[in-house]
Structure 1
Amino acid sequence: MPRPYVVEYRVYEGADALARAAAEYFVESARTAAAARGLARIAISGGSTPKRAFELLANPAEPYRKAMPWEQVQIYWVDERCVPPDDKDSNYRMTREAMLDKVPLKPEQIFRIEGELEPEQAAARYETAIRGQFRLEGAELPTFDVLALGMGDDGHTASIFPHTDAIHELGRVVVANHVPQKDTWRVTLTWPVIVQARDIFFLIGGKDKADPLHRVLEGPYDPETLPSQLIQPRSGLLRMLLDKDAAALLPAPDAQGAGKLEIAR
């Protein structure tokens, strides 16, 4: 059943401003988590805008690299394609090349999805790794400190695509999800895990996202068609960083670029 929540969104002029806002958000949320709990467990997604943000975080000429509490960070992935780690489509490869190879993170701080394995095995191994790090028992779900999401032009998020089995998964931490639309398998965190995170934000840019974003936030509740509607944070607050093209059909933000929606379906 849908639950009420608040969406706070910020709208930025273009791709560079959006990437800089994302880099700053990663730093601020990681510092908050590290100060509160001594550790910042961050789950990240792929895509061109996250890539730009990761490059900024890794750039010694930018302020973000120095401000990030690298020694207290753990990096996880929200989802992964079922490809080897050196494949051009690998989310891990993108992140490694943009950031991981350039920042002071040790291998034991990085928890990738082994996309080169058989999908169910990759999902099981990733769930085992998460359970071990979070010391979970039984049906417990992990609580990530920061979790970054994107959204596809079909309304999918993570690798939870329209009309796929992952929409209905309630008990597991990680699943292998067959995506007929792309004739492929993906490995993804489940939506009950995603909504458990302390700080969840969407990073969305592009004209092709305006209509699906409008339907996700202001249209009828239909998560079978628009899986992003499943992301109703337990905290009651969902943040979105948007460029002006993606935000074109939402209520106009204020002079500072801030907008707010109360979702109660």
Structure 2
Amino acid sequence: MKMYYYADAKQALRSMTDQLGALISAIGEPYFNLAVSGGGTAKKMFSLWADEYRSLIDWKRVRFYWVDERCVSPKDDESNYKHAKDLFFDPLKISTEQIFRIHGESKPYEESERYSEVVRDHVPPVEKYPRFHSIILGAGDDGHTASIFPDNLSLLTAKDNYAVSHHPLSGQARITMTGPQILCRCPIFVPIFGEHKKWIIEGLVKGGEKTTYIPVQYIVRAAEDATIFTDIAI
């Protein structure tokens, strides 16, 4: 695990994007398979990409997949895909052939199986699971990552590469990448911002048995190559 501290979220996202751009440039394959997350941090990231990285990264080589998605229409304001489309894909005219969205409007269990197949068909495997060139995760206030919540830790070791989860408070269904798929030997970037998430950073730095029960801490500590970008000083 590597961790970098910055004065604010924008500087941290710039550093993360610079590292991502270097990976894209260095890859010797026709396409760069990138899995992205949603939420407030993702909105900041997509806006930054559209504003400052429009011509600095060869986006035509990137294929976009999702770490997780809420089971809502792609036009719903809660849709992770909608935020990416409005803030980044449409402004940069990203081809639909590069975008592999989770169909949040479909029946959850059927969609988790369909999307698992989509990923397996397009992302080359390493051992049992497809290996993305990079995954960008988030961290929720409760320590969840992807849509793996602290009350459903079995998803950290589930056999399928995508599965259905439910938000612990609202009960909303979601499609999420599972722990083994996330940990399939690729560079993982995790931007974590705001003092209310300081406890997550402290857990990552100090370690201890409790990190096993917090999804984002478990993933970061188990990953071969995880980098945290944060504005939280401890």
The normalised TM-score by structure 2 is 0.90
Q: CA RMSD in A?
A: 2.2
Does residue 155 of structure 1 match 2:147?
A: no
Aligned equivalent of 2:167 = 179
In structure 2, relative to structure 1, the CA distance for the partners of 1:237 and 1:58 (3 Å cut) is same
Given that 1:163 and 1:224 are in contact with CA atoms closer than 8 Å, whether structure 2 keeps it comes out as: no
Paired with 2:100 and 2:158, the residues of 1 have a C-alpha distance of 23
Q: Which string of whole-angstrom CA distances, capped at 9 and with x for unpartnered residues, describes residues 6-51 of structure 1?
A: x211111113222322332332222223xx2232111111122322
Question: Residues 14 and 90 from structure 1, CA distance in 2 versus in 1: closer, same or farther, beyond 3 angstroms?
Answer: same
Pick aligned residue for 2:41 from 40, 46, 49: 49
Structure 2 match to 1:207? 195
Equivalent residue in structure 1 for 2:217, among 220, 223, 229 = 229
**Residue 107 (structure 2) pairs with residue 113 (structure 1):** no
Q: Name the counterpart of 1:254.
A: none
Name the structure 2 match of 1:15.
Answer: 9
Q: In structure 2, the residue corresponding to 1:181 is in which secondary structure?
A: coil
Q: Give me the whole-angstrom Cα distance separating, in 1, the residues matched to 2:81 and 2:157.
A: 24
| 1:141 equivalent in structure 2 | 129
Q: How many Å apart are 1:189 and its aligned residue?
A: 0.5
Cα deviation, 1:191-248, whole Å, max 9, x if unaligned, reads 11111142111101001110122124424234663111331577633211101xx3x3
1:101 equivalent in structure 2: 90
Q: Deviations over 1:35-86 (max 9, x none)?
A: x223211111112232222122223xx3x22121222110011101111101
Q: CA deviation at 1:171?
A: 1.3
| Residues 58 and 65, structure 1, Cα contact 8 Å, conserved in 2 | yes
**Given residue 85 of structure 2, which amino acid in structure 1 is its aligned partner?**
R
Alpha-carbon shift at residue 104 of structure 1 (Å): 4.2
Q: Does structure 1 retain, via aligned residues, the 8 Å contact 2:69–2:81?
A: yes
Aligned to 1:90: 79
Residue 118 of structure 2 aligns to a residue whose secondary structure is helix
1:194 aligned to which of 175, 178, 182: 182
Cα distance in 2, alignment partners of residues 166 and 118 from structure 1: 21
Counterpart-to-counterpart distance in 2, 1:41 and 1:135: 9
> Is the CA contact (8 Å cut-off) linking 2:16 and 2:189 kept in structure 1?
no
| Bigger helix fraction | 2
Summarize the Cα distance change of 1:152–1:193 in structure 2 as closer, same or farther, 3 Å threshold: same
Asked if 1 retains the 8 angstrom alpha-carbon contact of 2:203 and 2:211, the reply is no
Letter in 1 for 2:54: R
Gaps of 5+ in 2: none
Supply the distance in 1 between the matched residues of 2:221 and 2:130 (Cα, whole angstroms): 14
Q: Counterpart of 1:129?
A: 118
Say which one has the larger Rg: 1
Q: Distance in 1 between matches of 2:168 and 2:109?
A: 16
Deviations 1:86-127 (A, max 9, x none): 111111001111101122421111011111111111211111
The answer for unaligned runs of 5 or more in structure 1 is 1-6, 250-265
Would you say 1:31 and 2:20 are equivalent positions? Answer: no
